[in-house]
Amino acid sequence: MYCRPHLLSALLAASVAGCAVAPVAPVPEWAEPPAAWQAALPAETASAPIDGRAWWQQFDDPLVARLIEAAQAASPDVAAARARIVEARASRVAAGAALLPSVDAGAAAMRGNADLALPTNTTALAGIQASWEIDLFGGGRAARDLADARLAMAEDQWRGARSALAAEVATSYASLRACEAQRAQAEVDSRSRAETARLAGLTVQAGFQSSADLALARATAAQGRSVVTQRAAACDLLIKSLVALTAADERTLRSELAAATGHLPQPARFAVKQVPAEALAQRPDLAAAAHAWRAAQFDIARADAARYPRIALSGSIAAARYESGLERLSTDLWSIGPLTLSLPIFDGGARLANVDAARARADEAAVAYRARLRSAVREVETALVTLQSTADRAADASAARDGYAATLRATDERYQRGMASLFDLEQARRLSTQAESALIDLESERVTAWIDLYRALGGGWASDADISPATEAAR
């Protein structure tokens, strides 16, 4: 049985006349970022941005980089992202292989006798079979390109996971050092309050002050001790956060923290590109969102190709041997075909519904990209505003701290000479403590703003050179 060439041509022409697979749409006009940043760029920056992971190593405290490296090695999120890259690469190989012919080898042997009066029969067969589905309407190519886009998306998500983790570790470490500074300041203040309470007790016993002054002094001393306890607990929580991020032994980590500099780490300055589109080009989440949209477009093409005919070709080559008594026969066999044509006739609208669903997913991906772009612009603008704010407030905060400290010293001297009341002393102490605490918070806010800005601009790990070693480790 065979098909005449003109009959096959007629069937193909009838099935595809007036229709074609929807091509992958060009990149749409995304929601463009603004032409320029609205917030002021940092005034004191390096001449060029620092690439890759180098910025995290530019902190004046080397423990920052060590903690980040430990967190990268221990993070389940990063490990899961690596595994997704390996999975996506395997899917890419499978999708590409579907475009190629498949070849299988087979062998069979049989020995038997249907009649005891006849010689024993031996039959052996070995051959190769090949099959190939012709990608006539591009469905296979679309599946391969879909796998490519998903692989690129997985790689960008891996970069994003590393960037987010590095920023979280650096922020937690900076917060810990700021907390320790606050605790140290609270301890000094608490000791001063305790000494004031002791002196107040002596003066009350001598009859120079009232019992109300002693009660006030003891109350403020108790309040100082409470603040120290609160600060210590807050610092312990931040240490435990670092333990969870790095999977380090807590006692070992505490020893490393105690041996390190102990001051608030200072990051390196870097330049911010004035054009937002260029500045945001390294953000892995934006790149992943763009690849998700590309994947959705290829998914449309794949679903659309399923609506049209499919052609498959097969063939085989084999060698056979037959023995029966003294009779031996060897022969070679080959065949081409059958050429199989599958024509979709009726499926209740399932294939068309799959195309519509794929288009809806593409629309969703476009919306997600625009939302991510707006969020990225907001994050950069927020970090820039915070940096500018901390710079504007720095001089005033320092002046306030110095002024209130001088006032506290003068009031304490007046109190020692009996020229100021205990209430005056505690009022001056409260203002000085608030000013010192505000300056520490301001410096912590500035460091955190630099970290947030670097992460908002991509956070490093944008080089493809980082991907291969990481993914190989997951194998």
Above 70 in pLDDT, residue 471? no
The tens digit of pLDDT for each residue in 420-470 reads 988 898 889 889 999 999 999 999 999 999 999 999 998 865 554 455 544
Note whether 300 and 385 are same-domain residues. yes
In a domain, 351, yes or no: no
In a domain, 274, yes or no: yes
**What pLDDT sits at residue 96?**
94
Sheet holding 121-134, edge to edge: 102-112, 121-134, 310-324, 327-342
The tens digit of pLDDT for each residue in 99-134 reads 999 999 999 989 887 766 677 888 898 999 999 999
Note whether 396 and 435 are same-domain residues. yes
Above 90 in pLDDT, residue 70? yes
pLDDT band per the 50, 70, 90 thresholds, residue 31? low
Global pTM exceeds 0.85: no
Contact 288, 157 (CB under 8 A): yes
**What pLDDT sits at residue 469?**
42
Note whether 338 and 233 are same-domain residues. no
Contacts of residues 330-335 at CB distance under 8 Å and 24 or more positions apart, as own/partner, are: 333/127
The tens digit of pLDDT for each residue in 245-299 reads 999 999 999 999 998 767 899 998 888 888 888 888 889 999 999 999 999 999 9
Q: Is 66 exposed, middle or buried (0-12, 13-18, 19+ CB in 10 A)?
A: middle
3-state SS class at 362:
helix
- Full domain range(s) for residue 116: 101-134+309-343
Q: Of 129, 139, 128, which Cα lies nearest the Cα of 99? A: 139
Contact 351, 274 (CB under 8 A): no
Note whether 300 and 186 are same-domain residues. yes
In a domain, 372, yes or no: yes
In a domain, 19, yes or no: no
Note whether 243 and 114 are same-domain residues. no
Question: 63-72, 109-118, 399-408, 420-429: which range is least confident on average?
Answer: 109-118
User: In which residue are the tokens 């950069």 written?
Assistant: 380
Note whether 30 and 94 are same-domain residues. yes
In a domain, 13, yes or no: no
In a domain, 226, yes or no: yes
Taking each continuous run of H as one helix and of E as one strand, the counts in the chain are 11, 4
> Per the omega criterion (within 30 degrees of 0), is the bond before 338 cis?
yes
> Count of CB atoms within 10 A of residue 334's CB?
11
Note whether 318 and 443 are same-domain residues. no
**What pLDDT sits at residue 196?**
87
**What pLDDT sits at residue 75?**
95
**What pLDDT sits at residue 48?**
52
Note whether 77 and 210 are same-domain residues. yes
Note whether 248 and 320 are same-domain residues. no
**What pLDDT sits at residue 475?**
39
| CATH number where 169 lies | 1.20.1600.10
Which of the two residues, 351 and 461, has the higher pLDDT score? 351
The structural domain count of the chain equals 2
pLDDT band per the 50, 70, 90 thresholds, residue 374? very high
In a domain, 227, yes or no: yes
**What pLDDT sits at residue 30?**
56
Note whether 218 and 284 are same-domain residues. yes
Q: Per the structure block, which two tokens stand in for 114?
A: 């249907």
Q: Is 431 exposed, middle or buried (0-12, 13-18, 19+ CB in 10 A)?
A: middle
Q: Of 45, 36, 285, which Cα lies nearest the Cα of 167? A: 285
Count Cβ neighbours within 10 Å for each residue of 242-278 and write b for 16 or more, e otherwise. bbebbebeeeebeeebeebeeebbebbbbebbeebee
In a domain, 357, yes or no: no
The whole-angstrom distance between residue 278's C-alpha and the CA centroid of its chain comes to: 20
Note whether 110 and 84 are same-domain residues. no
CA atoms of 261 and 174, how far apart (whole Å): 12
**What pLDDT sits at residue 275?**
85
Note whether 374 and 437 are same-domain residues. yes
| CATH number where 127 lies | 2.20.200
**What pLDDT sits at residue 117?**
67
CA atoms of 231 and 177, how far apart (whole Å): 12
Average pLDDT of the chain is: 86
